[in-house]
Amino acid sequence: MILTPESIQRIKDKLAQYPQRKSAVLPALTVAYRQVGHLNDDVYREISQIIGVPTLEIAEAATFYTMFPKQPVGKYLIQVCHNISCSLLGADSLVAYLEDKLGIKKGDTTPDGLFTLICVECLGSCATAPMMQINHDYYENLTPEKVDAILQQLRSEA
């Protein structure tokens, strides 16, 4: 089993809320993603057993939504918003800065497996641009100094 007993219980708790079991698909995927870091066929199969929705239908839903990586990513998934409001305040240069600091290109993972750098669409932080989301947390009003401090902090915690 990939999912921990805690994750399974959380999925069951979610399932119990809904009038129809299929509504628990996205909440279940969210629980799984938060535990595993990405989703794959094995995860879909386990969710299928818990919520009683065919594996195929779970995969069908999961592959539509961009928030869940479908293959392993670094310990820290850096998601830089490259939509319009963030771009006006330097999202392109933020990406270039991160590429330089991490020594990787957009879409890649550092060799130590710590960081994956990707660009994502608008995350609703337009008035606190530029911003990035790392795993589940938002980092807003970014400056080079702030980015340095964030990377240093994450490296020391890793």
Partner 1 sequence: MTFYSPVITNAKEAADNEKLHLFKYVEDPDQPKVETYESHGGYQAWRKVLSTMSPAEVIDEVKKSGLRGRGGAGFPTGVKWGFVPNDSTKPHYLICNADESEPGTCKDRVLMERDPHGIIEGMGIGAYAVGCHLMFIYIRGEFGHCAEMMEKAKEEAYARGHLGKNIYDSGYDLDMIVHTGGGAYICGEETSLLNSLEGERGMSRIRPPFPAIAGLYACPTIVNNVESLATVPHVINRGAEWYSSLGTEKSTGTKIFSLSGHVNRPGNYEVELGFSLKKLIYDPAYGNGIRGDRKLKGVIPGGSSTPFLTPDMIDVKLDYESLVEAGSMLGSGAVIVFNEDTCIVWALKKLIHFYRHESCGKCTPCREGTGWLEKIISRIEAGQGRPGDIEKIEEICENIMGHTVCPLGDAAVMPIQSAIKHWRDEWQYHIDQKKCLVKSEFAF
Footprint of partner 1 on this chain (CB under 8 A)?
Answer: 17-20, 22-27, 29-30, 53, 57, 60-62, 64-68, 82-85, 87-94, 97, 120-130, 133, 136-144
Which of 22/38 has CB closer to partner 1?
A: 22
Residue 103 C-beta: closest distance to partner 1, Å? 19
Bridge-based pairing state of the strands 76-81 and 115-120:
parallel
Residue 149 C-beta: closest distance to partner 1, Å? 13
Starting at the edge strand found earlier in the chain, the sheet holding 132-134 runs 115-120, 76-81, 132-134, 137-139
Residue 111 C-beta: closest distance to partner 1, Å? 26
Number of H helices, E strands in the chain: 7, 4
The number of beta carbons lying within 10 Å of the beta carbon of residue 35 is 15
Which of 83/110 has CB closer to partner 1?
A: 83
